[in-house]
Amino acid sequence: MASRKRSRKKSVTAPKKLSAKPVRRAAAKKPAPAAAAPAHPPQAVLMDALFGMMVTKSLSAIAAIGVPDALAGGPMYYTELADAVGADQRALHRVMRMLAGIGLFSENRPGAFGLTPASNLLRSDVPQSLRDMAVMITSRSHWDPWGRLEDVLRTGKSGPMHAFGTDVFTWFQAVENKGEWEIFNAAMTSFSAGTSHAVVASVAFDGFKSIVDVGGGHGYLLKTVLAAAPKAKGTVYDLPGVVQGAQPSDRITFVGGDFFKSVPPGADCYVLKHIIHDWSDRQSVTILSNIAKAMAPNGRVFVLETVMPETPEAHPAKFMDVNMLAMTEGGCERTVKEYEALFSKAGLKVAKVHPTASPVSAIEAKKA
């Protein structure tokens, strides 16, 4: 018995010493490589791109009938949601199910839909709302011209020329298109909400005394600029039919006119957001020349546009450029060098390019 106890004790307190050789082999052994992620099949890549049209139109329709506003208080089952917005229950469920599947709405339980940070911006009552932009992007003014892109590619003439027989801005002025004109102007204000604050954060406007927003619509950009320039006064200059629809605002005068003929004189700061990209080089030089003649000797011009990169990566300017191809008579996005050439012909020269946190840059120019 005693010997057995000692033997058992020995086996517990003095385990067999492991050889160092297998330890070295274990240390030297390399971990198995991780399995490569399966490649997205080319067919799936292409179909995702082709289905983009369905996503765009669905978002536009959902915004137009007020679904995001109805979801402001929290998720709703689709039957309740359909009743709230006056939609067919099954039709609404099918569209919402698709949009939730790509993450633009939530579906935490089957058939109950809610907002995500992205779709929250489709509400009409939130800061930087894109609801009006979503509605406009597939309204008749854009949907019909984009439907003629094959003709644009064959002829170089704009989509509105093929769809309406005239340029889009002339088409907007027809009495029967007043509703489309209002949608467009609301969308431009919506678009301004996403870029104006980024521009003001990157450009010091507080040293200017008189600021003119050329083509300023209903004044969202200028209101944002003046908030950062408390000693300045401002003028929104746009077509008479545009400024007539603007709400009165402190420190802002709304003036109707034609920037191809003249601009309000004597200011030390002129801003143009998404104006120059609407027009050909010749027309752009006319606008900029009128500003160069009117501005104070020490004045500055800020052209706010998505600057085209000279490198091959995806960039918002490339998408906007194709929109200009489809929608305008010679409008385009331009590189910094191309802007320098425009300014030079107008009697101006680039002083600085201010990048912003948005896709827009502020191209600052002064008298040559």
Q: How far from 119 is each of 58, 96, 114, 124, 264, CA to CA, in Å?
A: 12, 11, 9, 11, 40
Report the C-alpha gap between 209 and 105 in whole angstroms.
Answer: 45
In contact, 129 and 110? CB cutoff 8 Å: no
Q: Distance between CA atoms of 187 and 346, rounded to whole angstroms? A: 30
Measured distance CA(273)–CA(188) in Å, rounded: 10
- Residues 357 and 200: beta-carbon distance below 8 Å: no
As given in the structure block, the two tokens for residue 3 are 């010997």
340: tokens are 């320098």
State yes or no: is 93 an active-site residue. no
Non-local (6+) Cβ contacts of 118 within 8 A are: 103, 104
Residue tagged active-site, from 162, 197, 277, 354: 277
Query: In angstroms, rounded to a whole number, what is the distance separating the alpha carbons of residues 16 and 5?
Result: 18
Provide the β-strand partners of residue 210: 233
d(CA 360, CA 274): 9
| Contact between 330 and 337 (Cβ < 8 Å) | no
Active site residues: 277
